[in-house]
């Protein structure tokens, strides 16, 4: 089950996050998370992902933004029914935070829209001793 899910104009974006203890260093105030995004074209026309815009907020409320072309070096074009999945990472200076954003999509006909990426929580699992 995804941690977040949103559908915008037939484009479904699901995100799953995972804490990566092997890449984290809490004593150095660095917690690293992986997130896997699946973008599915459930609409009736092809769409292409042009850009990404992420807003990342750490546990102290500090926000940073990440913008750029495509995702993981790709600008996937999705026919109706096709999906594209990728995994990336996000370091935080706190053990918890959240991220959300948009992907700018364009149809073959030139209609552009922002596909929502619903907020996904990033948090180190609680350790019970």
Residue ranges making up the domain that contains 115 = 4-122
Displacement of CA 129 from its chain's centroid (Å): 32
User: Would you state the pLDDT for residue 80?
Assistant: 98
Best CA proximity match to 65, nearest among 101, 118, 93: 101
pLDDT at 103 over 50: yes
pLDDT band of 128, cuts 50, 70, 90: very low
Q: Quick: pLDDT tens for 39-67.
A: 999 999 999 999 999 999 999 999 999 99
Establish if 85 belongs to a structural domain. yes
CATH number for the domain harbouring residue 15: 2.60.40.1470
Full-model pTM: 0.93
Establish if 128 belongs to a structural domain. no
Q: What is the tally of structural domains in the chain?
A: 1
- How wide is the angle at C-alpha 96 spanned by C-alphas 54 and 15, nearest 5°? 45
Establish if 116 belongs to a structural domain. yes
Establish if 127 belongs to a structural domain. no
Alpha carbons 119 and 78: distance in angstroms, whole number? 23
* Cβ atoms of residues 48 and 104 within 8 Å: no
pLDDT band of 127, cuts 50, 70, 90: very low
- How wide is the angle at C-alpha 37 spanned by C-alphas 18 and 11, nearest 5°? 150
């Amino acid at each position: 089950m995804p941690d977040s899910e949103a559908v915008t104009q037939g484009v479904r974006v699901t995100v799953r996050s995972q804490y990566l203890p092997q890449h984290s260093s809490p004593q150095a105030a660095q917690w690293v998370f992986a997130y896997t995004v699946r973008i599915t074209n459930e609409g009736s026309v092809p769409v292409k992902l042009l850009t990404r815009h992420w807003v990342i907020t750490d546990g102290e409320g500090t926000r940073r933004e990440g913008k750029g072309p495509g995702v993981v070096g790709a600008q996937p074009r999705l026919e109706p029914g096709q999906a594209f999945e990728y995994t990336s990472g996000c370091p935080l200076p706190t053990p918890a935070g959240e991220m959300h954003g948009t992907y700018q999509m364009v149809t073959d006909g030139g209609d552009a829209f922002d596909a929502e990426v619903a907020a996904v929580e990033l948090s180190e699992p609680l350790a019970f001793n």
